[in-house]
Structure 1
Amino acid sequence: MSGHARAALELDDIQRGVLSPRPTPYAATYLVFRVDDRAHGRELMRRASAVVTSAADPDSPLGETWVSVAVTRHGMEALGVPHASLKTFAWEFRQGMTARARALGDVAESSPEHWEAPLGTADVHVVLTAVAPDAPQLEAALDRARPAYERLPGVTAIWRQDCYALATEKEHFGYRDGVSHPAVAGSGIAGSNQLEKPLKAGEFVLGYRDEIGGIQTPQPEVLGRNGGYAVFRKLHQHVAAFRRYLRDNATGPEDEELLAAKIMGRWRSGAPLALSPDQDDPALGADAQRRNTFLYERDDPAGFITPGGCHIRRANPRDASVAGEVRLHRMIRRGAVYGAPLPEGVLEDDGVDRGLMFSFIGAHLGRQFEFVQSEWMNDGVFFGAGSAKDPVTGSHDGASGFTIPRRPLRRRLPPLPRFVVTRGGEYCFLPGLRALRWLGDLRD
């Protein structure tokens, strides 16, 4: 920890990808690199520091286009970061996602031995993410970034994933995505829930006070401060299976949409059940100022409107009195779609790889991403539902169903198959711009 934390966020040293919402629509690319030559890897960091946009520059000439650079634990070792420094990073980061697979529910079809190569291996060193409003501007951003890694034979691009977000903001299951995001004190970026106070910067950016007054800063301070941890995951979606489950358990089209809403906690348009309990309200779903401004406990403690086990209530219980203070488990979440959509109405899988590229950003891997994934997504004890898992993203094995609170009798759905399968991922560190230069200037 730093003994002399400065309160104001140093936006000019924080990568824009840490705090800034992505544009709508947008195109994005993830590029993974392996560093075989330490000197070339360090040169990549030096060059990257000139390509990465800071959070202080949201109105740059490039508009809503930016590049972020993250480094894994294996990448830190490949760059020659001293062991004494590595020991000051979060232990989950040092272990890596593969080692944490069982705790995350990445078992069976989702276990690392089935991941897409080279994800989950020691070859994943540097992850470059480029974001732009459309594909031509994305290619232009990649062209600007290319000099950072070209003509460096000791740095090899080993994996690429192109992804996108539609103007409708819909993902492959048909729901509007990216609705909820927290406000970060000092960032100047508003949150999506007007009833949620901004969270302390130290929940997301290292080197600042967090919600419990602590300050996490990996050492040396020039390396740790203004950085953050990023979790990235490639998640395959079994879209046809999801559609069949809804169709098979509904009494008709209207009931099918109600079931879809009860499972997610929102109608497909993004309108929440909490504000529109009886029918979809597309105008509300499209209204970024209203669609996420609600709480649960005052109006719906028993979950008769928004089931306690639905996806959005598990991911963020808001004002609920649950195990652990909810604000300690908030994350910045980014999602992008990959693969062509399954045509409307099709109920059989066509063999196309489609899903979501997720990234979660925070300063506490353990009590943020890992806690939510293991305790809220893959368990139900926190709201009295035993071992029940999240109906959308839970690691289902066909043993448990989904219960919808209802008077006079609750509605119980049959066992759920696994709709989302992990195809790979990693824990990364998003260095500040000064830290990128520090990594570039390392000497043996």
Structure 2
Amino acid sequence: MKLELDDIQNGALQPRPVPYAGAYILLRVDDRRAGRELLRRLIPNLADATHPADPAAQTWVSTALTFQGLKALGVPQASLDSFPIAFQQGMAARAAMLGDVGEDAPEHWESPLGRPEVHIAISAISPDTAHLEAVLAPAREALKRLPGVEAIWRLDCHVPADLRNPFGFKDGISNPGIEGSGRPGTNPQEAPIKAGEFFLGYPNEVGELSPTPVPEAFGRNGTYLAVVKYHTRVAAFRQYLRASASGPEDEGRLAAKIVGRWPSGAPLALAPERDDPELGADRRRNDDFLYAAEDPRGLRCPMGSHARRMNPRDSSIIGVARIHRVLRRGTAYGPMLPADVMEDDGVDRGIVFVFVGADLERQFEFVKKEWVNDGLFIGARGEKDPMIGPNDGTGQFTIPQEPIRQRLKGLPAFVTNRGGEYFFAPGLRALRWLADLDT
């Protein structure tokens, strides 16, 4: 089955250029007719997924809406009621269930993230800042002439040429192939995932169609986005490694065990003893591995490491990993903390994670609750993701090794949730239907 690429927004499917500059802009709609007019003006500037893969052409704009945004545009109640409960409630209302409590709770989120006035999101991607501002120009012009729509938040972001995230590790390496998309996955040993896991209107991994909203246009080629802004505590990460390691070389080993890869991107599954920058840079090899045959006990890559939790591959776990796969788009914001700095400089730096999937509860929420916040699925109940889990200084991380396993104790939180939201990224036909509403 082929995907209808000409109806799918490019930003939901297309891999990002490397390097790139980007921006996320949130809008509030005070007048529904002005909101619809904004969509009419945006649609000609939205690239579909037939967009060429040539990096010189990889400049595009995408848009998505919250449930409150659909209401603000005047979508009929019958249509609103047909959306999944998780999307209707929004991320903030489900925060406690997702483990976002304490300093991660919505009352501490950056305004306006998680609030009802967030209606429309616009994201722009470009290989450089100059092209980014050019591609945003039509949106800026449209907003100037539409007093009923207001931009209420903007975050500029980037991915450097070496793909390093604020912790200094190469990121964004692994993503699944999608059946019918014509785009291969990064792991040649992983069969493509059914299109219905990511886009509405197609069979999923269990041979069913995910529940689809009405009208018909909404039920085809759209997808859901879970967007989270994570502030990274890079200095705290470095301090913990230094306090836990026997020396500088051991610091690097412990960091790799926590992440599941070396800073170059070389996976522990293929380079268990030391970093291999040549392997890390090789896109044909740096994701070409499984776990079950070569590393069933986690002696190379710990079962509880961040990378193995987020993508267990063929590991022996409780559950079926393929039905919880998501497309993950990670984008850094803020400047890097210099390599030799051990104290926090007070600068906001971090990662914006965008998780793309057709079922918020079975994909994003399941992964966060079960794989990030708990370790039952790998036989380590109570152990959280050591990198992005809600650790509070009392947790632990197990590193299998012979003859005696190693346990890191007293894990603090290395990231803080600064806020997020659930969005619906409609297909282009559905966006036209929205723009033409007359309610």
- TM > 0.5: yes
CA–CA separation in structure 2 for the residues paired with 1:247 and 1:85 = 54
Say whether residues 1:391 and 2:401 are aligned partners: no
Shift of 1:413: 1.1
Give the match's secondary structure for 1:262. Answer: helix
Q: Match of 2:124?
A: 130
Shift of 1:184: 0.7
Give the match's secondary structure for 1:140. Answer: helix
Q: Match of 2:14?
A: 20
Q: 2:279 aligns with which of 277, 284, 287?
A: 284
Q: Map Cα deviations across residues 347-380 of structure 1 (whole Å, 9 max, x no partner).
A: 1001000001110101011111000000000001
Q: Map Cα deviations across residues 165-209 of structure 1 (whole Å, 9 max, x no partner).
A: 000100111100001001011111111001000111111111111
Q: Match of 1:367?
A: 362
Q: 1:206 aligns with which of 171, 175, 200?
A: 200
Is the CA contact 1:48–1:436 (under 8 Å) kept in the aligned structure 2? no
Q: Match of 1:4?
A: none
Give the match's secondary structure for 2:256. Answer: helix
Shift of 1:59: 5.3
Amino acid aligned to 1:198? P
CA 1:208–1:376: 2 relative to 1, 3 Å: same
Shift of 1:105: 1.6
CA–CA separation in structure 2 for the residues paired with 1:146 and 1:400 = 47
Moved >6 Å (runs of 4+)? none
Give the match's secondary structure for 1:367. Answer: helix
Shift of 1:106: 1.0
Is the CA contact 1:218–1:225 (under 8 Å) kept in the aligned structure 2? no
Q: Match of 1:344?
A: 339
CA RMSD of aligned residues (A): 1.2
Q: Map Cα deviations across residues 5-44 of structure 1 (whole Å, 9 max, x no partner).
A: xx42110010001110000000000000000001001111
Shift of 1:61: 10
Q: Match of 1:311?
A: 306
Say whether residues 1:255 and 2:238 are aligned partners: no
Which shows bigger deviation, 136-145 or 329-338?
136-145
Q: Number of aligned pairs?
A: 438
Q: Match of 2:61?
A: 67
Shift of 1:253: 1.4
Q: Map Cα deviations across residues 119-147 of structure 1 (whole Å, 9 max, x no partner).
A: 11000000000000011111111113333
CA–CA separation in structure 1 for the residues paired with 2:192 and 2:177 = 5
Shift of 1:225: 1.0
Shift of 1:280: 0.4
Q: 2:233 aligns with which of 238, 246, 250?
A: 238
Q: 2:134 aligns with which of 130, 136, 140?
A: 140
CA 1:440–1:282: 2 relative to 1, 3 Å: same
CA 1:148–1:202: 2 relative to 1, 3 Å: farther
CA 1:331–1:61: 2 relative to 1, 3 Å: closer
Say whether residues 1:52 and 2:46 are aligned partners: yes
Is the CA contact 2:28–2:118 (under 8 Å) kept in the aligned structure 1? yes
Give the match's secondary structure for 2:93. Answer: coil
Q: Match of 2:104?
A: 110
CA–CA separation in structure 1 for the residues paired with 2:363 and 2:163 = 25
Give the match's secondary structure for 1:32. Answer: strand
Q: Match of 1:163?
A: 157
CA–CA separation in structure 1 for the residues paired with 2:421 and 2:299 = 37
Say whether residues 1:94 and 2:88 are aligned partners: yes
CA–CA separation in structure 1 for the residues paired with 2:10 and 2:432 = 16
Say whether residues 1:326 and 2:321 are aligned partners: yes
Percentage identity across aligned positions? 58
Say whether residues 1:381 and 2:373 are aligned partners: no
Which shows bigger deviation, 203-212 or 58-67?
58-67
- Runs (5+) with no aligned partner, structure 2: none
Amino acid aligned to 1:371? F
CA–CA separation in structure 2 for the residues paired with 1:168 and 1:432 = 32
Q: 1:228 aligns with which of 223, 226, 247?
A: 223
CA–CA separation in structure 2 for the residues paired with 1:422 and 1:88 = 29
Amino acid aligned to 1:162? D
Amino acid aligned to 1:425? G
Amino acid aligned to 1:84? A
Amino acid aligned to 1:154? G
TM-score by length of 1: 0.97
Q: Map Cα deviations across residues 191-231 of structure 1 (whole Å, 9 max, x no partner).
A: 10010001111111111111111113211111231100011
Give the match's secondary structure for 2:422. Answer: strand
